[in-house]
Amino acid sequence: MECVFCKIARGEIPAHKVYEDEEFVAFRDINPQAPTHILIIPGKHIESLSSVAEEDRELLGKLLWVAKRVADELNLKKGYRLVINTGPDGGQEVLHLHVHLLGGRALAWPPG
Protein backbone atom coordinates (compact mmCIF):
# COMPACT_ATOMS: atom_id res chain seq x y z
CA MET A 1 0.00 0.00 0.00
CA GLU A 2 1.40 3.39 -1.01
CA CYS A 3 1.94 6.15 1.54
CA VAL A 4 -1.10 8.39 2.11
CA PHE A 5 1.12 11.45 2.66
CA CYS A 6 2.88 10.86 -0.67
CA LYS A 7 -0.55 10.86 -2.32
CA ILE A 8 -1.48 14.11 -0.56
CA ALA A 9 1.82 15.69 -1.66
CA ARG A 10 1.08 14.73 -5.28
CA GLY A 11 -2.50 16.01 -5.05
CA GLU A 12 -4.05 12.55 -5.48
CA ILE A 13 -5.86 12.81 -2.13
CA PRO A 14 -7.51 16.12 -1.24
CA ALA A 15 -6.33 17.99 1.83
CA HIS A 16 -6.93 21.46 3.23
CA LYS A 17 -3.53 22.84 2.27
CA VAL A 18 -2.20 25.98 3.93
CA TYR A 19 1.21 25.98 2.25
CA GLU A 20 2.84 24.31 -0.74
CA ASP A 21 6.09 24.72 -2.62
CA GLU A 22 8.25 22.47 -4.78
CA GLU A 23 9.55 20.50 -1.76
CA PHE A 24 6.92 20.68 1.01
CA VAL A 25 3.21 20.62 1.70
CA ALA A 26 1.45 21.79 4.87
CA PHE A 27 -2.16 20.88 5.52
CA ARG A 28 -4.70 20.77 8.34
CA ASP A 29 -4.79 17.57 10.41
CA ILE A 30 -8.10 15.69 10.06
CA ASN A 31 -8.01 14.89 13.81
CA PRO A 32 -6.80 18.16 15.35
CA GLN A 33 -5.37 18.16 18.86
CA ALA A 34 -5.36 21.97 19.14
CA PRO A 35 -7.28 24.81 17.48
CA THR A 36 -4.44 25.00 14.96
CA HIS A 37 -3.01 21.61 14.00
CA ILE A 38 -1.02 21.54 10.76
CA LEU A 39 1.04 18.68 9.33
CA ILE A 40 4.12 19.67 7.34
CA ILE A 41 5.60 17.03 5.07
CA PRO A 42 8.40 16.82 2.55
CA GLY A 43 7.39 15.64 -0.92
CA LYS A 44 10.29 13.21 -0.77
CA HIS A 45 9.26 10.02 0.99
CA ILE A 46 11.31 9.53 4.16
CA GLU A 47 9.81 7.03 6.57
CA SER A 48 10.78 8.76 9.82
CA LEU A 49 13.34 10.98 11.47
CA SER A 50 15.31 7.87 12.41
CA SER A 51 15.71 6.97 8.74
CA VAL A 52 17.05 10.27 7.40
CA ALA A 53 20.36 10.16 5.59
CA GLU A 54 23.30 12.57 5.51
CA GLU A 55 21.95 13.86 2.19
CA ASP A 56 18.73 14.97 3.98
CA ARG A 57 20.41 17.54 6.26
CA GLU A 58 19.38 20.50 4.12
CA LEU A 59 15.83 19.17 3.77
CA LEU A 60 15.51 18.94 7.57
CA GLY A 61 16.53 22.57 7.97
CA LYS A 62 14.04 23.63 5.31
CA LEU A 63 11.33 21.59 7.04
CA LEU A 64 11.72 23.67 10.20
CA TRP A 65 11.87 26.87 8.15
CA VAL A 66 8.55 25.97 6.50
CA ALA A 67 7.05 25.27 9.95
CA LYS A 68 8.11 28.73 11.14
CA ARG A 69 6.77 30.35 7.98
CA VAL A 70 3.39 28.61 8.31
CA ALA A 71 3.19 29.60 12.01
CA ASP A 72 3.83 33.22 11.01
CA GLU A 73 1.20 33.06 8.26
CA LEU A 74 -1.33 31.62 10.72
CA ASN A 75 -0.57 34.44 13.17
CA LEU A 76 0.52 32.19 16.05
CA LYS A 77 2.17 35.13 17.84
CA LYS A 78 1.58 33.78 21.36
CA GLY A 79 3.50 30.60 20.58
CA TYR A 80 3.23 27.13 19.15
CA ARG A 81 4.71 23.66 19.46
CA LEU A 82 6.46 21.52 16.85
CA VAL A 83 6.33 17.74 17.31
CA ILE A 84 8.00 14.97 15.32
CA ASN A 85 6.76 11.54 16.37
CA THR A 86 9.27 8.82 15.49
CA GLY A 87 8.49 5.11 15.48
CA PRO A 88 5.70 3.22 17.20
CA ASP A 89 6.74 4.10 20.76
CA GLY A 90 7.00 7.74 19.70
CA GLY A 91 3.41 7.75 18.48
CA GLN A 92 4.13 7.84 14.74
CA GLU A 93 1.05 6.61 12.87
CA VAL A 94 1.90 7.49 9.26
CA LEU A 95 5.30 6.27 8.07
CA HIS A 96 6.29 9.48 6.28
CA LEU A 97 8.36 12.12 8.08
CA HIS A 98 6.12 14.97 9.23
CA VAL A 99 6.06 17.83 11.70
CA HIS A 100 2.97 18.63 13.74
CA LEU A 101 2.48 22.38 14.22
CA LEU A 102 0.17 22.92 17.20
CA GLY A 103 -1.10 26.25 18.45
CA GLY A 104 -4.06 28.49 19.08
CA ARG A 105 -4.19 27.77 22.84
CA ALA A 106 -1.84 27.30 25.78
CA LEU A 107 -0.23 23.86 25.52
CA ALA A 108 0.44 21.82 28.66
CA TRP A 109 3.65 20.01 29.53
CA PRO A 110 4.42 17.14 29.68
CA PRO A 111 2.52 16.32 26.50
CA GLY A 112 1.98 12.57 26.91
Which runs of E-coded beta strand occur in 1-112? Answer: 17-20, 24-28, 36-42, 80-83, 99-103
What is the predicted pLDDT for the residue at 1? 64
**Enzyme catalytic residues:** 98
Please, what is the Cα angle at 18 between 12 and 19, to 5 degrees?
80
C-alpha to C-alpha distance for 23 and 69, rounded to whole angstroms: 14
Separation of alpha carbons 28 and 41, rounded Å: 11
pTM for the model stands at 0.95
pLDDT by 10s per residue, the chain, length 112: 689 999 999 999 999 999 999 999 999 999 999 999 999 999 999 999 999 999 999 999 999 999 999 999 999 999 999 999 999 999 999 999 999 999 999 999 987 6
Residue 23 has a CB neighbour count (10 Å cut-off) of 15
* Predicted pLDDT of residue 111: 77
Domains of the chain: 4-103 (3.30.428.10)
